[in-house]
Amino acid sequence: MSTPADAGAQFHVLIPARLASSRLRNKPLADICGQPMIVRVAERVRLSRAVSCVVATDDAQILQACRAAGVDALLTRADHPSGSDRLAEACTLLGLPDDAIVVNVQGDEPLMDPALIEAVAAELQRRPDCVMSTAAHAIEHAAEFANPNAVKVVLDRAGRAQYFSRAPIPWWRDGMAEAWSEGIVELPQQPRPLRHVGIYGYRVGFLKAFPGLEPAPTEQCESLEQLRVLWHGERIAVHVCAQAPGPGVDTQADLERVREIFARQA
């Protein structure tokens, strides 16, 4: 469980959602125990102390589904290359001031911990040296450490991101080289490897400026948008949570697993 934000923390939540998905057709509208997934995500966000929760979408079907369930939503352009671009437009449409804090909760995270949302907002609020915040948790299994789909992050002394990578970092030279060559994968103990959690806090002024920044070579190599922030010399604060959040939905198997969890909770 994540530590919640201070009672005075003020933040907004934006949920980017687009209908197209390469692995799961019409994913935001997938039914989870009687409600579209995008509505289930908004329900989790509403359990946090967010000042507002708005879905930013490029599709009228998603807009209608949200409004039918009483979820605030707005329509953005359909040609945005990334969720960050969509959120930047949403901030402008909503008239949010540059010093406001916005948390980006992905539209395929119907089990997102509300306390984690608050903690990511609080992390950025207390760190004026950072333009963004995010989260991570300790990796417990070697297979996860080796998996390129599990993004890793290394922190500096102040708890800010040094680098994000799909590769296993930090590489424990003396303890891992021989083990890996023999097919035995061990995890470094100090520092413990951290898996990045895909939730972000932004200062609105930076979020509006982000789409205009030149993409970083490392970002294009690793296909990790957050590396653009570091490449331009900006800082990202990282909240380390005690455990992984609930599973997101990328595939049909993920969707069935989440449906089972909701059914047990009903």
Confidence of residue 180 (pLDDT cuts 50, 70, 90): low
Nearest Cα to 133, choosing from 146, 147, 118, 145? 118
Q: Are 53 and 13 in contact (CB under 8 A)?
A: yes
Phi and psi based region of residue 243 (left: phi greater than 0; alpha: psi -120 to 50; beta: remaining): beta
Strand partners, 74: 56
Residue 186 has pLDDT above 80, yes or no: no
123 Cβ contact partners less than 8 Å away, ≥ 6 residues apart: 133, 201, 237, 238, 239
| Cα-based distances in Å from 158 to 124, 133, 161, 265 | 13, 13, 9, 39
The pLDDT assigned to 178 comes to 63
Mean pLDDT of 13-25: 85
Which helix (H) or strand (E) segment holds residue 194: the answer is strand 194-203
Residue 144 has pLDDT above 50, yes or no: yes
Please state the domain extents for the chain.
10-112+247-265, 129-195+214-245
The pLDDT assigned to 172 comes to 78
Three-class SS state of 96: coil
Looking at the domain that runs over 10-112+247-265, which CATH code has it been given? 3.90.550.10
The pLDDT assigned to 9 comes to 65
Q: Do 129-195+214-245 and 10-112+247-265 fall under one CATH topology?
A: yes
Q: Are 198 and 185 in contact (CB under 8 A)?
A: no
Residue 82 has pLDDT above 50, yes or no: yes
Mean pLDDT of all residues in the chain? 90
In tens, the pLDDT along 23-65 reads: 788 999 999 999 999 999 999 999 999 999 999 999 999 999 9
Length, in residues, of the chain: 266
User: Which amino acid is present at 216?
Assistant: A
Residue 197: alpha-carbon gap to chain centroid: 6
Strand partners, 57: 17, 75
In tens, the pLDDT along 1-13 reads: 454 444 446 999 9
Tokens of 200: 């972000």
* CATH architecture entry for 129-195+214-245: Alpha-Beta Complex (3.90)
- Report pTM: 0.91
In tens, the pLDDT along 111-131 reads: 999 999 999 999 999 999 999
CB atoms within 10 A of CB 187: 19
The pLDDT assigned to 80 comes to 83
The pLDDT assigned to 1 comes to 46
